[in-house]
Amino acid sequence: MPDPSRHRRTRTADRLLGALCWASALAVVAVFLWLLWDLLSQGLSHLSWSFLTGTVEDAGRGGGIAPVILSTLLILLVCLAVAVPLGVGCATWLSEYQRPDGALAGAITKAVDLLASVPSIVFGLFGMVFFCQVLDLGFSITAGGLTLACMILPIIIRTTLTGLHSAPNELRLGAAALGMTRHSALRHLLIPAAVPGIVVGVTLGISRAMAETAALIFTSGYATRMPSSLSDSGRAMSVHIYDLAMNVPGGAANAAASAAILLAVLTAINFTASKLSDRWHAKAVVTR
């Protein structure tokens, strides 16, 4: 017969590990709610329509954040306009024009992986030297957007690659057997099949770009006036929060309000991304 004390020991171990797991999960949730509560309770009271549409006054202590929102959107626009075509093109070439074990393809994949691991402050330094000074763009929305484009490029490339890899090989064979050119197979069949992956990549890229601060401080700058062109300096949401919290005494409440908005937008974007990828993943399984 088995030794009853051994059984007891097993059961105790089970209970102990279970309790630890529950405790840590509860702790994580509690801290998350605490963070959320603080931001919302401090921020919501300052949130109003005029906050969203007003200009920045008194270094951000008063007024609204309309120019900041516009700058953020413009930076994002520049970033996506560069990163999406470049990333999709790169991924398409890697997936459809190169053998996966090819030397050049391998080197490019490695370089992209390396790019993904560069800390954001280094992107900021690079953007400051290369875009602002060497290319003479100055502290501008364009420079900030281009810097962020470099940063989200790996995300777009990876998700597009995943999308293209999930396109059934029958499409490629079928198109080739009908004497179709590669580029028209790409345009009409493979890229459409990869669109889910690309969309997920773009959403993830947007969320990464909107959350970024360090890469923007030295590239798109701090200006709080309404930007009139892409060559103006413009302050992104996250830079606004940073500046209010660090350099403007009495700016905490507006910082919290801005943070609440940023968090809400990012949550919505991330939620969309995960829903989209879930749905397409499920669909891919069903149609197989």
Give residues 170-209 in contact with other proteins (rule: CB under 8 A). Answer: 170-184, 186, 188-189, 192-193, 207
Closest CB 230 distance from other proteins, rounded Å: 21
Size of the site for other proteins (CB under 8 A): 101
128 binds other proteins (CB under 8 A): yes
Beta carbons within 10 angstroms of residue 16's beta carbon: 10
Are the beta carbons of 64 and 53 closer than 8 angstroms? yes
Give the count of alpha carbons within 13 A of 282, CB side only. 5
Identity of the residue, 87 or 163, whose beta carbon is nearer to other proteins in the bound complex: 87
CA distances from 219 to 148, 169, 264 (A): 10, 43, 25
132 binds other proteins (CB under 8 A): no
Closest CB 45 distance from other proteins, rounded Å: 14
Tell me phi and psi for residue 2, to 5 degrees. Answer: -65, 155
Near other proteins in 244-283, by CB under 8 A: 245-246, 252, 255-256, 259, 262-263, 266-267, 270, 274
40 binds other proteins (CB under 8 A): no
Near other proteins in 144-163, by CB under 8 A: 150, 153, 157
Identity of the residue, 85 or 229, whose beta carbon is nearer to other proteins in the bound complex: 85
Near other proteins in 87-116, by CB under 8 A: 87, 89-90, 92-94, 97, 99, 101, 107-108, 111-112, 114-115
164 binds other proteins (CB under 8 A): no
What is d(CA 169, CA 212) in angstroms, rounded to the nearest whole number? 38
Binding mask of the shown chain, residues 215 to 234, with x at each position contacting other proteins by CB under 8 A = --xx----------------
Identity of the residue, 55 or 222, whose beta carbon is nearer to other proteins in the bound complex: 222
CA distances from 69 to 86, 194, 215 (A): 26, 31, 17
Member of 44, 77, 81, 122 binding other proteins (CB under 8 A): 122
Select the span of 49-57, 61-69, 82-90, 226-234 touching other proteins (CB under 8 A). Answer: 82-90
Near other proteins in 48-77, by CB under 8 A: none
Select the span of 44-52, 65-73, 194-202, 237-245 touching other proteins (CB under 8 A). Answer: 237-245
Are the beta carbons of 90 and 158 closer than 8 angstroms? no
Identity of the residue, 66 or 264, whose beta carbon is nearer to other proteins in the bound complex: 264
Closest CB 37 distance from other proteins, rounded Å: 10
